[in-house]
Amino acid sequence: MTDCVFCKLLRGELPVSSIVEDRYCFACLDIDPINPGHVLVLPKHHRVSLAELDDITGAHMFNVARQVAAALRRTSEIKCSGVNLYLADGAAAGQEVFHAHLHVRPRYAGDNVRSQYPANFNRQPKPNRDQLNTLAERIKYHL
């Protein structure tokens, strides 16, 4: 993908502050962080969605995110009290760069970052157990 900003980072065409690079993925600081230490974990090969990741790469990305989260808590300049992992998969989910990536977001009490549904969120009615079981079976069928 020649015009993908993350592919350009991976090819060294754009400046980047890298954290981890190995055969499966690349982790770097986000240039628009929600808090200092906000890291992106990217697959080395262009994949648009979570479903396009192979099992090894997807698992490895999560493992790298776990290691980065632990490092964020130990780094004296960051020393966050919590971490959010976030992956937007598709435009409807808020994905803006269409190269799969996992955010590792350091969090602090009172940082005013919101990851909860807003109070006026238009929720669907709660399903009953039969509806949940039916939906679970349909999803299992497609695994």
- Residues forming the active site: 101
Instruction: Give the chain's largest Cα–Cα span.
Output: 53
Note whether 7 and 99 are within 8 A (CB).
Answer: yes
CA separation (Å) from 122 to 114, 118, 129?
17, 9, 21
Question: Which one, of 3, 95, 105, lies nearest residue 52 by Cα?
Answer: 95
How distant is the alpha carbon of residue 7 from its chain centre? Answer: 16
Q: How many CA atoms, within 13 angstroms, populate the side-chain half-sphere of residue 34?
A: 19
| Strands annotated E in the chain | 18-21, 25-29, 39-43, 82-86, 102-107
